[in-house]
């Protein structure tokens, strides 16, 4: 699926200063090789908190995604450290997922509501809970793509 054509929709929960970076990272998330190369560089730990803000995550949800305490993430962020390659990959995929969600649902509020409810195409799993693994993120992205193309089976 093509990248969202209208990045201006990334406004509801992503600050203006991040829109350009998130749009570029969202592009990297759609190209497997670019994703791996970007993840190997490491994403700034502060990005985990940007993800938490955009997805309106509770501390326990953020910790489950990153397998780190919020205290550790905060320390890494303050020390300007980067996330591990695996956590960076997950972050880039989540950012790409956010962009796709905005494209499919038209705004962040509708996308976030969908993320928090059992999804028929995901065997009644709550999509947000699947973001804990890279494969889970892929499943949610595939479901969004099915929704975008009207395949609700």
The tens digit of pLDDT for each residue in 61-108 reads 999 999 999 999 999 999 999 999 999 999 989 988 998 999 999 999
Q: What predicted TM-score, i.e. pTM, was given to this entire model? A: 0.81
pLDDT band with cut points at 50, 70 and 90 for residue 9: very low
Give me the chain's average pLDDT, please: 84
The three-state secondary structure class of 69 is: coil
The three-state secondary structure class of 12 is: coil
pLDDT band with cut points at 50, 70 and 90 for residue 146: very high
Taking the C-alpha atoms of residue 73 and residue 105, their distance in angstroms, rounded to an integer, is 30
Q: What angle do CA 50, 104, 25 make, to 5 degrees?
A: 40
* Residue 150 φ then ψ, to 5°: 80, 15
Listed by start position, the domains of the chain span: 16-148
Beta strands in the chain (DSSP E): none
């Amino acid at each position: 699926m093509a990248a969202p054509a209208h990045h201006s929709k990334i406004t509801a929960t992503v600050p203006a200063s991040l829109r350009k970076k998130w749009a570029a990272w969202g592009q990297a998330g759609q190209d497997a090789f670019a994703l791996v190369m970007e993840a190997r560089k490491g994403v700034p730990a502060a990005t985990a908190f940007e993800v938490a803000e955009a997805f309106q995550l509770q501390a326990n949800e953020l910790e489950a995604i990153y397998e780190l305490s919020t205290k550790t993430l905060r320390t890494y962020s303050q020390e300007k450290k980067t996330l591990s390659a695996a956590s960076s990959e997950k972050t880039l995929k989540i950012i790409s997922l956010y962009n796709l969600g905005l494209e499919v649902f038209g705004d962040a509020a509708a996308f976030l509501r969908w993320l928090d409810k059992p999804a028929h195409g995901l065997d009644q799993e709550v999509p947000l809970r699947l973001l804990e693994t890279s494969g889970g993120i892929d499943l949610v992205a595939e479901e969004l793509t099915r929704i975008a193309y009207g395949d609700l089976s």
